[in-house]
Amino acid sequence: MGCELTKLASSSNGSNSKSNNVPSLDACGPPPVDSRLPLTAKQKYTMVASWKGISRAMETTGITMFIKLFEEHADLLNMFAKFKELKTKEEQATSEELQEHANKVMNTLDEGIRGLDDLDTFFEFIHQVGASHRRIPGFKQEYFWRIEEPFLSAVSTTLGDRYTQNVEGIYKLTIKFIIETLVAGYEASANNNVDSTTTTSSSTAKGGLSPRTHHNNLNQRNSLLRPAMINPVEALARASGASAPAIRLILSVLLAYPLGLFYRQLKGGPTVRNLFIACTGVSIVLFNYGTDLYHSMLAVAVSFLCNTFLRNSSLMVPVSFTYHMGYLLIGYYYTTSDTYDIKWTMPHCVLVLRLIGLAFDLSDSRKKEAAGKSDDKCIPTPSLLELIAFTYFPASVLVGPQFSFLRYRRFVDGAYEPHTQEAPAYATKKFLQGVFYLVVNQVGTQYVSDAYLMSDEFAAESLFMKHIYLGCWGRITLYKYISIWLLAEGAAVIFGLTYIDAKPGDREYSSDELSGCSNIKVGVFENTSKYGHYVESFNVQTNMWVANYVYKRLRFLNNRMLSHLGALFFLAIWHGFHSGYYVTFLMEFMVIRMEKEVEPIFAKNDKLQKLLQQQPLLRALVFVGLKYYTIVWAGWCLVPFVFLSFHKWWHIYTTVRFTGFILFLGGNAFLAPLLRAVLPRSSSSSSSSSAPKTTVTPANSSTDTSAGPATKKDN
């Protein structure tokens, strides 16, 4: 149609030239876009078309956006007199005042987005909105940027499967453009200079910009940088594309390194050390979560009362367990959303395990003392200062790792100091590993992101390539966790907490003995040939905690499978209520059970093992096959854990035709009997008490993965 209009325009000009009757290629393309708009014509069309879905759910989207905003920035509630008392998610969702304000904000965004065709009008309108915020007492220009992540999250929730990677990128560009314009209007209003982008008629006639307009355009482009002088966290978040809570988290983990170096030079006894650790740890939580610090403070207070007054009672563990898990689950109920959020419940879940473990250890110590079997692993009831310091240890208060009070007390008493002189070098190694994995994760997500798995482009891929993408995505996603755990471990090493001691001081220092708080065994993880290696190497300290305090405590069931299921159910509910957690841990159970049945069949067939020894090519094929199995299907198992909500992970599983369910359910039901028929157990293996040394898979580790999480004792 555009080409026909061009022909008509050419003929109406009265030109007889043939060339004028032939439309140019440019004329057939999309209409030109104002150079001030950071979107292409196609992107603008996609944006406007997608926004129609939002405009049909303006109120719901607006409420979701503000609930998310107040979750991440609770301090902003105080700026709204009409609903500053709405502290809970349910109160906010049902507030008529908040609904009215959310509609007003969404209508402003709606008018702005619909006005992208006329940028002069757009700038005038958005500048006026930005300038109007000058009248709000206490408002700061960086507050505009705080709506960015909540807006994107709300749009994602409303659009659902339509929020593809491409659409997400367009919305990010659009909201950034709108916020920059709001900031420009806010700043310009201070000098009564709101019109910062429109050109005068004279400058238009000359085909250029007046000096004033050029200056104001530069002012608008650079508005992103100016808030850095006021709020570095917000500026880093905008520059990196990460959320402000994520930036605060990373900065807090890195801050533990200089704190650890200072601690190593600290003079004084346990009281001074506990005071330093308590003050710095509490400050880190305050920096990240503000007044939500009271949740963890309340947990410490309840633990102190339980440990003090119920120390000799059988009620101590049940009361502590019920309170801490109950409080955490209530927190999940009121704060959970369809995406991963960095809020107070994240460090609180770390704290819950630490304080419940302390109650178990105190109870075990009391039982030993009552039986006259007291040993060096019995612990006294911690003082309030010790408990606060133990809970808020700076290197692990936000993301772990877990460690026992016995370890902490030995550390503070100085028992580890002679063995941690080379800790800075070991910590540097962990820091560099963490940075490496963080970079790989950030680069990798540019190619295979969460949004891509929900996109039409992914659905159009072949089934084989979908699984390859799933495997790559899963690996890159796991690197995010590995990076933060390595960084946190390095900080704990700097402090001197991580020395491995069977008995204090009974063996010489070795660099290998500084991994007592390691949450990731990088070597095992990168060389996985079965899922048991993932259990052995990933989230190690949490797995050991669950093994010691849940799995082993379920021995009264007299059934290892039920104990294993109980431990995995605890892990699922500890993470939250989303269906994705329960599906992920159920699949872990199925996979580990299948491997337990299948692996011995391969290992105990002498003919197969001899063939593998004689055929290097066959060994190479087995290696490639096991890598495909562990990497690709790990991605499959991880999908519900990352996408959380049923409609999201079910959509992806539908796209890949439920192949993982077929493999793992079928494997548990039919694979072992089939393999026993095809690969009967060799007679020499039947008479031997030990398996062959060379097997299809690497030698078994000391961890019995079929029985549950890793069981190595954390001293």
Tell the residue number behind the tokens 């590993």, with chain if given.
Answer: 433
- Is 564 annotated as catalytic? no
DSSP summary character for residue 112: H
610 Cβ contact partners less than 8 Å away, ≥ 6 residues apart: none
The DSSP element (H or E) to which 613 belongs, if any, is helix 606-614
Cα gap 389→528, rounded to integer Å: 37
What is the DSSP code (8-state) at residue 692?
-
Catalytic-role residue among 575, 651, 668, 700? 575
> And the tokens for 493?
């090493």
List 539, 543, 548, 605, catalytic entry: 539
**Beta carbons of 296 and 287 less than 8 angstroms apart:** no
Cβ-contact 466, 655 below 8 angstroms: yes
CA distance 610 to 354: 49
CA–CA gap between residue 240 and residue 256 (Å, rounded): 22
Taking each continuous run of H as one helix and of E as one strand, the counts in the chain are 34, 0
Separation between Cα atoms, residue 300 and residue 323, nearest integer Å: 11
Q: Which two tokens stand for residue 243?
A: 């959320």
Alpha helices in 445-578 (DSSP H): 450-453, 456-459, 463-495, 522-526, 531-537, 540-546, 560-575
Contact of 579 with 645, CB cutoff 8 Å: yes
**Token output for 445:** 């997500």
As a whole number of angstroms, the distance between CA 650 and CA 693 comes to 42
- Cα gap 390→311, rounded to integer Å: 18
Task: Tell me the DSSP string of 246-311.
Answer: HHHHHHHHHHHHHHHHHHHT--S-HHHHHHHHHHHHHHHHHHHHGGGHHHHHHHHHHHHHHHHHST
CA distance 578 to 562: 22
Q: Is 545 exposed, middle or buried (0-12, 13-18, 19+ CB in 10 A)?
A: buried
Question: Do residues 53 and 162 touch, judged by C-beta distance below 8 A?
Answer: yes
Taking CB atoms within 8 Å and a gap of at least 24, the contacts of 507-515 are 509/418, 509/419, 509/420, 509/421, 509/422, 511/422, 511/426, 513/419, 514/420, 514/422, 514/423, 514/426
The answer to whether 103 is a known catalytic residue is: no
Cis ω on the peptide bond leading into residue 673 (within 30° of 0)?
A: no
CA dist 444 and 469 (Å) reads 11
- Tell me, what DSSP letter sits at residue 644? -
Which residue is it, tokens 């929020």?
A: 163
- Name 538's bridge partners: 520
Residue-wise DSSP of 155-169: HHHHHGGG--HHHHH
> ∠ CA 596-597-598 to the nearest 5 degrees?
100
C-alpha atoms less than 13 angstroms from C-alpha of 296 in its C-beta half-sphere:
34
Pairwise CA distance, residues 19 & 17, whole Å: 5
Q: Which residues of 450-459 are buried (b: 16+ CB within 10 A; e: fewer)?
A: bbbbbbeebb
Cα 313 from chain centroid? 39
Write out the catalytic residue numbers.
539, 575
